[in-house]
Amino acid sequence: MGRYDALLFDLDGTLINTGPGIMRCAAYALQKAGISVNDPGSLRVFVGPPLSSSFPAFGVPQDGVADAIKDFRELYHAEGKYECAPYDGIEDALKLLKEAGFRLFVGTSKPEPTAREVLNRFGLDRYFELIAGASFDRSREKKEDVLRYMLKQISCRSPLMIGDTVFDAEGAAAVGIPCLAAGWGFGSAEEMKKAGALAAAESPAAMCAWLLNETENEL
């Protein structure tokens, strides 16, 4: 099975391509805040990190962040959460890893009930022992907070975080666990490596090969 016994997966940009819905809802909330977005591609940064850090980066003042999050979630829960799909090969990868003896978990900055709903919609929830996410009251929001919350509930010898953004690498480092970069997502594998990620897998199949030592850890 390899050296890791528990795999802690990010959701947005790692398991599910939730980008279209998240980016549309972010544009809507920014527009309501009076902020124009000239480059729609710049909204990719909303996929993964907490909304409370993304909106200020686009010029939303701190006293307007709560309203922006409210506007985002209003549209996201009505429509945006349905604008997504699993990445090609991800379910095959989860099945293979589970059959190989890995324990699988989800640790996401997406609110936990929403994460459960999205995974359930595509039948992916059945692969995971625990789906841990952020809380709506923002008391558990950053990736390291979610991971600490998760690790208190599970018993494992050697966990590994798998995610697509620097927030995943930094969150994993904050709780003292290693991270593998999911190079098919929305972040930068090079930035993740600078933040401490062990390596980058360019596809779910490459991730499985690395985890199963089929390529001697050379991707």
Helices assigned H by DSSP within 33-64: 51-57
The CATH number that applies at residue 123 is 3.40.50.1000
For residue 51, give the 3-state DSSP assignment: helix
* One domain for residues 108 and 183: yes
Say yes or no: 168 and 203 in one domain: yes
Please check whether residue 31 lies inside any domain of the structure: yes
Cβ burial, residue 34 (10 Å; 0-12/13-18/19+): exposed
Mean per-residue pLDDT for 156-174? 96
172 and 93 inside one domain: yes
Our count of domains for the chain comes to 2
User: Is there a single domain that holds both residue 35 and residue 70?
Assistant: yes
Residue 218 has pLDDT above 70, yes or no: no
Structural contact between residues 210 and 199, judged by C-beta atoms closer than 8 angstroms: yes
Shared domain check, 150 and 43: no
Same domain for 115 and 190, yes or no, is yes
Does residue 153 lie within any of the structural domains?
A: yes
Task: Give pTM, 2 decimals.
Answer: 0.88
| Nearest Cα to Cα of residue 106 among 126, 121, 87, 88 | 126
Q: Taking Cα atoms as reference points, which of 124, 43, 122 lies closest to residue 84?
A: 122
In a domain, 217, yes or no: no
Q: Is 164 a catalytic residue?
A: no
The reply to whether 216 falls in a domain is no
pLDDT at residue 72 greater than cutoff 90:
yes
| CATH number for the domain harbouring residue 47 | 1.10.150.240
Per-chain mean pLDDT for the chain: 93
User: What is the three-class DSSP state of 55?
Assistant: helix
27: pLDDT strictly greater than 80: yes
Tell whether 158 is covered by a domain.
yes
Of 10, 12, 71, 145, which residue is the catalytic one? Answer: 10
Residues 105 and 202 in one domain: yes
- The answer on 100 and 158 residing in a single domain is yes
Domain membership flag for residue 94: yes
Mean pLDDT of 197-207: 96
Average of pLDDT values for 28-47? 92
| Residue 176 DSSP symbol | T
Please report whether residue 176 resides in a domain: yes
Q: Are residues 110 and 167 in the same domain?
A: yes
Task: Report whether pLDDT(138) > 50.
Answer: yes
Whether 192 is in a domain gets the answer yes
Listing DSSP states for 77-112 in one string gives HHTGGGS-EEPTTHHHHHHHHHHTT-EEEEEEEEEH
- Shared domain check, 142 and 169: yes
Would you give the distance in Å from CA 4 to the centre of its chain? 19
Q: Do 75 and 89 have their domain in common?
A: no
> What is d(CA 201, CA 219) in angstroms, rounded to the nearest whole number?
7
Range of the domain at 180: 6-17+85-211
Assess whether 57 and 89 both reside in one domain: no
